[in-house]
Structure 1
Amino acid sequence: MKTRSRPSTLSRFLRCRPTTDDEDDDESPPLTTPSTTGSYNSPYNMSPYNLSAASSPFVRSPWIHSTAVVAPFPLDSTTALLGSLVRQDGHVYSLAVSGELLFTGSDSKNIRVWKNLREFGGFKSCSGLVKAIILFNNKVFTGHQDGKIRVWKPDSKSGGYKRVGTLPRFKDFLKSSIRPSSYVEVRRHRNAVWLRHFDAVSCLALNAEQGILYSGSWDRTIKVWRLSDFKCLASLNAHDDAVNAVATAFGNMVISGSADGTVKVWEREERKGRHVADRTLLRSESAVTAIAVAEKDGVVYCGASDGWVRFWVGGRRMEKGGGLRWHSMAVLCLATAGRMVVSGSADRTVRVWRREGLGAQHVRVAALTGHTGPVKCLAVEEDVEVGGELGGRWLVYSGSLDGSVRVWRVSDRPAPAAFGRNWV
């Protein structure tokens, strides 16, 4: 009998694997994650992290504006490793930072809270490893492998955090489940209630001004949630493969990236509140793995499994800007702060760039090494301790599949030796 080859390492930790709700902590009925049949043809299998995959066609891509030399920069006075946070919780999949507090999610189903490089507290979901974390006001929203979004807030009695909700709410799910019109086809010969993700929640994005939360999932949809009452407003059939990244931008726009190799832009109509497809920014043969937006400068970045970071400039116009290459394997995460762009990769490194001029030019600032596994998530905040006349200093948090989080201090001003040879 013919046997199917096993998926690549990158596919296993980024794409899909079956989950169960045997230890589910919610009121809603157990949900079985569908078979991953068909994922073996995912663009992830083209990743350079998969050693058996063919070389990427993006070596000949018109996005490549330069062949800047890839050379490691030694840490200098502007860059320093402040510490490493290690807890025996397995892979670190998600990070979020707010002031002095750092939240980390792992495949142990724990959300750890850190303060001043020390463990400050934590809380646990009984099912579903934590793939995404986002903060809003005093609430923590976590996206899980079991397809649910959980909401937490500080508990004054215990001094920790307590769960105050699950999206979708049980009463909404129950009400919809008794109406035949609420069911949509999610796989051949299988239907599910439209307002619930039936596969892993891979990413979250927030439009704080409009009070809306967006969740992207491996079920290929993006769901729209109203934060005031946790109601699901809409479900977008966004892509032909897993949604890996979603971001809000320029008022009412939403940008999504998928394993199908596309980056799409959606616009929310103010009057009706519905989301319509605006345009497709990118069609490629490599999975899109991350999206970040520098809204003040009007630049949108996307990372892909071919190791490239591509970007668009001009704000809402989103004109093609170019491509950045400093990784030898798949880009797994992106973050922006000020004029700085940070990327993490399956090659176990973190790379830092600075935008120049109108955003179409970038200079390499630092290469951060030390992780022993792929860098899966990033968070950046201003280093308020040094601020003032020094300025341009940031704290970069990098979470890795080696089970650790490293904390770096980075200046967006490169070392003098870096100037003049790294423009892209």
Structure 2
Amino acid sequence: MDHKLNNTHQKTLTQFFHEEKNTPSIEDDNDLHSPSFHHLSLQLHEKNHLSPNHNLNLNLNLEAAMSPLMPQSPESIWSHSPLWTPSHPSLLYCCISSLHRDGDIYSIAVSGDLVLTGSSSRRVHAWQPLDCHAKGYIHASSGDVRAMVAHAHMLFTSHKDHKIRVWDMRNGKGNFRPRKVTTLPNASHFKSFMSRPITPQYKVTSKTITPQHKDIISCMAYYLVEGILYTGSFDRTVKAWRLNEKKCVDSFIAHGSNVNDMVVNQQNGYLFTCSSDGTVKMWLRVYGENSHALIKVLCFHTYPIYALALSVSPSQKSFLYSGSSDGCINFWVQELSCRYNHAGLLQGHRFAVLCLVTLENLLISGSEDSTIRIWRREKAKANHECLAILEGHRAPVRCLGAFLQKDDKFAMSFLVYSASLDQTFKVWRVKLLPAEMKKSDYGDDDDDMEGENKISEFEKSPVLSPSWVKKKLQCRSLHKFL
């Protein structure tokens, strides 16, 4: 049954990309600028972290979250990882390329033999994976590309005009010549949707919601089986777009604040969203319908959450990671019946965790403290360990990408792509030698863990640019820095 569904879906997408339908798009002349990401990373952070009434606020938030409409994740006993650990001798890394761009890079997407970067300009640049030689670029009518998703020959980009553009990246003779397929929402869809009211999932009052987002589209996720593109925005809503119909099939208010990131589990269709309201929510499309239901609220603290990542192990067990403004990474493990239970906390970053990406059993995190950390998940007991800290950026690491090199038979070799608010785009080559690979595949006993705990913890200051430190301190001037 599933095989038949996939064949039908692929056929529909092929017809979708071969259609040559010229429909005028509605351009938004309102040149709105979203708040800076630096400002977002400080929302509620100082209040929750430095306020003398922190414990009282935390208790009130927990009590308010006990509503039947907001099911809770079970409590767990979590453990701290060291503040800093030296790089393992079996892990080698180096920065092989550093490009300086005019303007901030907001998004990175890896697709086959291409690496794409979206920035504040109207161009989406394409690079070769290894040496980052320019392959070409996409020129859109609107800039500020905050989110991108690539799948096979498809590329989805979000823009300043609060619209999504779909590109066909198939090209001949090695040339990068993408073709814009459509803009969502298009003119005909916009007119037909204007009068249709949509009732949010857990609001008492109904409100007519148009298919076009009202604020910056901050994140996207593509569900391959159903051909659905999900978009999240600072307007607190999540929208589902069915590509073969070229229209928005569902729109709902997902959070009480900005929707910052989202991921979808390709195995079962579960959609996870995170927000500045401090929650991670789990959604599922109602069977036989287009609407989505809230399944669970994963709430462990009150700090804003900026990044999500999902990792699926060979045993089909998935791990969900979330990065928050306190510099911590929480993770949940999928148990029986698709339940996600809180399993631990990774501590190491000084400032907010802004981006996460997974690669097999590795987690890569980028932070406002300008560093990138590589974490390894052990198979036994789901323990995590920081293998390396990549330093080189002089401002917050805004987005990450990873590319696995399969031609290396003697080590796990991969590339890490990072973009920072210092307006640089860096490529890191990382090799994990067999000794470490064997340890991660089969797990270790507690003997090695005992030796690891003997590592002395000490502080290592990140290399931040003076201008960024000045801005950081100015934003904290209303509070006493402890």
Please, what TM-score do these two structures have when normalized by structure 1?
0.81
Q: How many matched pairs? A: 386
Using the alignment, how far apart are the partners of 1:347 and 1:64 within structure 2?
A: 27
SS of 1:171 mapped into structure 2: helix
The answer (yes or no) to whether the contact 1:339–1:412 under 8 Å persists in 2 is no
- Segments of 5+ residues of structure 2 without an aligned counterpart are 1-22, 60-74, 201-206, 440-447, 455-482
Instruction: Determine if the alignment matches structure 1 residue 402 to structure 2 residue 422.
Output: yes
Q: Report how far residue 182 of structure 1 moved.
A: 7.2
Q: Report how far residue 65 of structure 1 moved.
A: 3.1
* Residues 294 and 118 (structure 1), Cα distance of their counterparts in 2 relative to 1, 3 Å cut: same
Using the alignment, how far apart are the partners of 2:227 and 2:384 within structure 1?
A: 33
* Residues 165 and 55 (structure 1), Cα distance of their counterparts in 2 relative to 1, 3 Å cut: farther
Q: 1:393 aligns with which of 413, 436, 443?
A: 413
Q: 2:136 aligns with which of 110, 121, 126?
A: 121
* Residues 94 and 214 (structure 1), Cα distance of their counterparts in 2 relative to 1, 3 Å cut: same
Q: Report the counterpart of residue 367 of structure 1 in structure 2.
A: 389
Q: Report how far residue 69 of structure 1 moved.
A: 2.7
The answer (yes or no) to whether the contact 1:173–1:193 under 8 Å persists in 2 is no
Question: Map of 1:1-400 to 2, 5 A cutoff?
Answer: 27-30=25-28, 32=30, 44-47=42-45, 65-71=78-84, 73-74=86-87, 78-115=91-128, 116-154=131-169, 156=171, 159-177=176-194, 179=195, 181=197, 193-249=209-265, 250-282=267-299, 284-296=301-313, 297-315=317-335, 316-358=338-380, 360-386=382-408, 388-390=409-411, 392-400=412-420
* Residues 145 and 47 (structure 1), Cα distance of their counterparts in 2 relative to 1, 3 Å cut: farther
The answer (yes or no) to whether the contact 2:145–2:159 under 8 Å persists in 1 is yes
SS of 1:68 mapped into structure 2: coil
Question: What amino acid sits opposite 2:382 in the alignment?
Answer: A
Q: Report how far residue 399 of structure 1 moved.
A: 1.4
Q: Report how far residue 213 of structure 1 moved.
A: 0.8
Q: Report how far residue 333 of structure 1 moved.
A: 0.4
Q: Report how far residue 167 of structure 1 moved.
A: 1.0
Q: Report how far residue 81 of structure 1 moved.
A: 2.2
The answer (yes or no) to whether the contact 2:222–2:264 under 8 Å persists in 1 is yes
The answer (yes or no) to whether the contact 1:145–1:202 under 8 Å persists in 2 is no
Q: Percent identity?
A: 32
Q: Report how far residue 345 of structure 1 moved.
A: 0.2
The structure whose residues are more often strand, as a share, is: 1
SS of 1:213 mapped into structure 2: strand
Q: Report how far residue 35 of structure 1 moved.
A: 9.5
* Residues 41 and 285 (structure 1), Cα distance of their counterparts in 2 relative to 1, 3 Å cut: farther
**What is the Cα-based RMSD across aligned positions, in Å?**
3.5
Using the alignment, how far apart are the partners of 2:40 and 2:417 within structure 1?
A: 29
SS of 2:188 mapped into structure 1: helix
* Residues 198 and 270 (structure 1), Cα distance of their counterparts in 2 relative to 1, 3 Å cut: same
* Residues 34 and 397 (structure 1), Cα distance of their counterparts in 2 relative to 1, 3 Å cut: closer
Q: Report how far residue 166 of structure 1 moved.
A: 0.9
* Residues 121 and 75 (structure 1), Cα distance of their counterparts in 2 relative to 1, 3 Å cut: farther
The answer (yes or no) to whether the contact 1:133–1:140 under 8 Å persists in 2 is yes
Question: What amino acid sits opposite 2:278 in the alignment?
Answer: G
* Residues 30 and 321 (structure 1), Cα distance of their counterparts in 2 relative to 1, 3 Å cut: same
Of structures 1 and 2, the larger Rg is shown by 2
Using the alignment, how far apart are the partners of 2:339 and 2:258 within structure 1?
A: 26
The answer (yes or no) to whether the contact 1:353–1:412 under 8 Å persists in 2 is no
Q: Report how far residue 98 of structure 1 moved.
A: 1.8
Using the alignment, how far apart are the partners of 1:90 and 1:42 within structure 2?
A: 19
- Segments of 5+ residues of structure 1 without an aligned counterpart are 1-24, 185-190
**Larger deviation, residues 348-357 vs 117-126:** 117-126
Question: What amino acid sits opposite 2:187 in the alignment?
Answer: F
The answer (yes or no) to whether the contact 1:216–1:246 under 8 Å persists in 2 is yes
The structure whose residues are more often helix, as a share, is: 2
The answer (yes or no) to whether the contact 2:229–2:240 under 8 Å persists in 1 is yes
Q: Report the counterpart of residue 5 of structure 1 in structure 2.
A: none
Question: What amino acid sits opposite 2:210 in the alignment?
Answer: W
SS of 1:252 mapped into structure 2: coil
What whole-Å deviation, never above 9, does each CA across 1:74-131 have from its counterpart, x for those lacking one?
A: 5866322242342433111100112221000111232110013211111122323011
SS of 1:130 mapped into structure 2: coil
